[in-house]
């Protein structure tokens, strides 16, 4: 049985004769034709029926075609539907205004049947080709994103590492990356990085960095030596202008020592089991930019039950609200210490929720009290990729 559905054409015109003519002409060609005699009904049909193409009269009483197409192009449901204007107006500025608003073509009234059929056919073909290209590109990017995410370790596959993670790419080709490294039975490495740019090349570089981490993060080398060797290779292989910021934490659960290497990245947050959260501040150069890069090094004693957080700047940064990661970590550090009672695997998601519900609040005591009471302000949406890695000693 042939279940192929005909293409749907919506015609909007206040002249019933024109509507009947269009309906008869296109129906004979196998199209499904919907009609509306005014702008509001045309808009409603466009949203509910999602036609493949719209024939829209410019001059209609009340709501003209310009207002209708403006609504259609601002509505994500109808924005991609091609619109052909039906116009008896010969002035160039009216036609140019139609194109500026998103029309793909126009047909001058009184129109000829064969012209209507030809223009509808041409723009349906163009729409089909465009949608096919978009679908193909989206499919490829989804595959790329899935491949990128498949390289990211999960807590259930690394129970000895005792971590929870939140990862969200804002675009198909994410710029953030994390990895868990088995240095030995009692020593684990935790790495979070943020690539400059979010293009396709970034996704391929993820695999290269992962390979470099495995090769160079071993008991033979100190954390600083590992980052130095990785940097030297990245300087050679990264395209001009490409680099990455990173935080690398080496935790020795036997000696209870934590070593953090900072490469131009937001500071690690240390949350003692019986103390207030602190920032492990250490300035360092980014990876992959300078051959003689110098990295910040911080060493702290930790206790069983302590937690520490590595994260990307998308967690604490907001260009819309003039918050940089340099002051964002300090501004939101309060939240890191409020999740001690949660299981480690639940902490990252809760931290995300708490921070993005209060990004308009200051760090004053008064505002912290409001946060405790749940009196958060407006909720903000992430503006960048986000990685949050929470580790328990």
Inform me whether the pLDDT recorded for 329 exceeds 60: yes
Per-residue pLDDT for 152 more than 60? yes
Least confident interval from 68-77, 91-100, 201-210: 201-210
What CATH number is attached to the domain comprising 28? Answer: 3.40.50.2300
Same domain, 164 and 245: yes
Confidence at 371, pLDDT banded by 50, 70, 90: very low
Please give the residue range of the domain that contains residue 342. 152-392
Residue 98 CA to residue 70 CA, distance in Å, equals 10
Residues 324 and 347 in one domain: yes
Q: Is the pLDDT of residue 331 over 80?
A: no
pLDDT in tens, 257-296: 999 999 999 999 999 998 899 999 888 999 999 888 999 9
The answer to whether residues 165 and 20 belong to one domain is no
- The reported pLDDT for the residue numbered 137 is 55
Q: Which of 86, 118, 142 is the last residue of a domain?
A: 142
What number is the average pLDDT over the span 358-380? Answer: 41
Query: What does the pLDDT look like over 5-36, one tens digit per residue?
Result: 789 999 999 999 999 999 999 999 999 999 99
**E strands present in the chain:** 8-12, 32-36, 53-57, 83-87, 105-108, 163-168, 176-182, 187-195, 244-252, 257-263, 268-271, 278-280, 296-301, 307-311, 386-392
Check residue 335 and give its pLDDT. 87
pTM greater than 0.75 (yes/no): no
- 229/280 same-domain check: yes
| Residue 369 clears pLDDT 60, i.e. is over it | no
Residue 2 lies in a domain: no
Which ranges constitute the DSSP H helices of 37-178?
Answer: 39-49, 65-74, 92-101, 113-150
Instruction: Check residue 203 and give its pLDDT.
Output: 58
Structure confidence at residue 172 (pLDDT):
52
List CB contacts of 229: < 8 A, sequence separation 6 or more: 212, 216, 221
3 located within any domain: no
* CATH number of 326's domain: 3.60.40.10
For the chain, the residue count is 393
Could you tell me the pLDDT band of residue 368, with boundaries at 50, 70 and 90? very low
Please, are residues 344 and 307 in contact by the beta-carbon 8 Å criterion?
yes
Q: From 314, 316, 320, 313, select the one nearest 328 (Cα to Cα).
A: 316
Kindly state whether residues 216 and 118 are assigned to the same domain.
no
């Amino acid at each position: 049985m042939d279940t192929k559905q005909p293409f749907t054409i919506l015609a909007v015109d206040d002249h019933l004769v024109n509507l009947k003519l269009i309906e008869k002409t296109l129906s004979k060609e196998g199209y499904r034709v919907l009609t509306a005699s005014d702008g509001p009904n045309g808009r409603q049909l466009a949203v509910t029926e999602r036609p493949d193409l719209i024939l829209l009269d410019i001059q209609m009483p009340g709501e003209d075609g310009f207002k209708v197409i403006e609504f259609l192009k601002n509505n994500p449901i109808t924005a991609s539907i091609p619109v052909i204007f039906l116009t008896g107006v010969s002035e160039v500025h009216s036609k140019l205004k139609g194109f500026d608003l998103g029309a793909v073509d126009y047909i001058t009234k009184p129109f000829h049947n064969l012209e209507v059929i030809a223009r509808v056919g041409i723009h349906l073909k163009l729409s089909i080709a465009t949608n096919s290209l978009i679908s193909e590109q989206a499919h490829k990017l989804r595959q790329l994103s899935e491949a990128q995410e498949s390289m990211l370790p999960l807590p259930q596959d690394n129970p000895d590492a005792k971590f929870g993670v939140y990862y969200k790419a804002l675009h198909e080709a994410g710029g953030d990356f994390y990895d868990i490294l088995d240095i030995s039975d009692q020593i684990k490495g935790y790495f979070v990085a943020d690539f400059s740019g979010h293009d396709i090349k970034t996704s391929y570089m993820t695999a290269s960095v992962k390979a470099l981490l495995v090769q160079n993060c071993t008991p033979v080398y100190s954390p600083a030596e590992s980052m130095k060797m990785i940097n030297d290779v990245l300087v050679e292989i990264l395209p001009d202008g490409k680099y990455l910021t990173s935080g690398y934490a080496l935790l020795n659960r036997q000696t209870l020592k934590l070593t953090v290497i900072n490469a131009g990245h937001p500071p690690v947050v240390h949350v003692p089991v019986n103390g207030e959260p602190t920032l492990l501040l250490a300035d360092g150069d980014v990876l992959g930019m300078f051959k003689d890069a110098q990295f910040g090094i911080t060493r702290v004693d930790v206790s069983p039950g302590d937690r520490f957080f590595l994260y990307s700047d998308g967690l604490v940064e907001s260009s819309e609200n003039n918050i940089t990661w340099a002051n964002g970590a300090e501004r939101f550090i309060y939240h890191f210490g409020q999740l001690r009672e949660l299981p480690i695997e639940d902490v990252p998601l809760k931290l995300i929720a708490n921070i993005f519900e209060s990004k308009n609040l200051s760090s004053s005591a008064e505002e912290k009290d409001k946060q405790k009471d749940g009196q958060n302000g407006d909720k903000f949406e992430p503006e960048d990729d986000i990685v949050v890695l929470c580790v328990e000693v």
